[in-house]
Amino acid sequence: MRIDIATLFPDMCETVLNESIVGRARKAGKIELHCHQIRDYSTDKHRRVDDTPYGGGMGMVMQAEPIYRCFLAVTEGFEHKPHVIYMSPKGKTFTQQRAVELSKMENIFIICGHYEGVDQRVIDKIVDEEISIGDYVLTGGELPALVITDAIARMCDGVLSSAECFEEESHFSGLLEYPHYTRPEVWEGESVPEVLLTGHHKNIAEFRKNEAVKITKERRPDLYKKFTEKSNMNNK
C-alpha cells in the first residue's frame, strides 16, 4: 500500500511516521508513505498558497491550484486514480471499520487543510470522501491525517506480527460549516457562487446558512435533528 500526504508541514508528518511500528514497517518496505509540501506547487514567487475568502469573513482559505498541481505531480504515472481523502470537521466520523476498508486499498492520497479550510472546487474535483476524527476543530489536518494513516497502516500485511494484533481490539453540537471559495473567481471552468461576489451581507449570510443546513442534514442527521429541535423550542 502507498499513502501520500499533501501538507504545509511535511517535516511534522515525517517525524511521526518515522517512529514506532509504522516507522519500522516503512523502513522495511512493508508500506510506502510519502509527505509532500504543497507550497512547492505554488506559482507565487513567495510560495503563497492561501487568499482571502470570497464573501468576506475571518481567516484565509487555501487555494485550489497548488493542491491540484501537487495531486497531479504525485499521481503522474499512476495506473489508477488514488482514493483521495480530505481531512475535515465536516467529514464522516472515522471508525475502525472504515480503517479496515481503507487498508485494503492500493493507493490513498490525503489532503491536509489549514487556516479556514480549502477552496471547495478542488474538493469537488478530486476528493472521494471527507473524514473527521471527531466533533472538534484542530489548527490543521496533519494530526488527523496521521491518526488515520496509523490506523490504516497497522492493518497492512507485515506491519504487525499477526492479524490477531488488531482483530480483537475495541474499538458542540450545531450545523456543519458551509463551503469556502477564494481566488481565482473561475477555476477549471467552475465559478464561485454569484451571491458571494455581490457584497450583500444579508444574502451571503442566508446562502451560507442554507448551505450549512443542507450539508448537516445530508451528512450528520443526528446534528440536524438537534438543530431543528432547538430551533423549534426557541420559536415557541
- Cα-based distances in Å from 164 to 100, 157, 160, 170: 13, 12, 9, 12
Would the pLDDT of 167 be above 90? no
List, as one string, the DSSP characters of 180-217. Answer: ---SSSEETTEEPPGGGGS--HHHHHHHHHHHHHHHHH
Handedness of CA 105, 148, 7, 89 (dihedral sign): positive
Report the pLDDT value the prediction gives residue 123, as an integer from 0 to 100: 98
Cβ-contact 227, 187 below 8 angstroms: no
Q: How many whole angstroms separate alpha carbon 42 and alpha carbon 4?
A: 18
Q: How many CB atoms lie within 10 A of CB 128?
A: 12
Residue given cell 442534514 in the structure block: 217
Amino acid identity at 66:
P
Question: What pLDDT, in 10s, does the model give residues 182-199?
Answer: 999 999 999 999 999 999
pLDDT at 163: 52
Q: What is the C-alpha separation between 56 and 197, in angstroms, rounded?
A: 9
Q: Where are the domains of the chain?
A: 2-167
> What cell was used for 67?
493542491
Instruction: Domain 2-167: give its CATH superfamily.
Output: SPOUT methyltransferase, trefoil knot domain (3.40.1280.10)
CB 181 within 8 A of CB 119: yes
Write out pLDDT tens, residues 116-135: 999 999 999 999 999 999 99
Q: For residue 105, give the DSSP letter.
A: -
Strand (E) or helix (H) holding 88: strand 83-93
The pLDDT tens digits of the residues spanning 43-75 come to: 999 999 999 999 999 899 999 999 999 999 999
pTM of the model: 0.83
The Cα–Cα gap between 221 and 218 comes to: 7
Q: Are 215 and 176 in contact (CB under 8 A)?
A: yes
Average pLDDT over all residues of the chain: 91
pLDDT at 173 over 90: no
d(CA 87, CA 153): 17
State how far Cα 75 lies from the chain centre.
18
**Residue 165, pLDDT score:** 44
**Residue 169: count of CB within 10 angstroms of its CB:** 9
Residues 211-233 have a mean pLDDT of: 90
Q: Are the CB atoms for 102 and 118 separated by under 8 Å?
A: no
- More reliable by pLDDT, 30 or 82: 82
- Please state, in angstroms and rounded to a whole number, the distance separating the CA atoms of residues 121 and 196: 14
- Local confidence band at 158 (pLDDT 50, 70, 90 cut-offs): confident
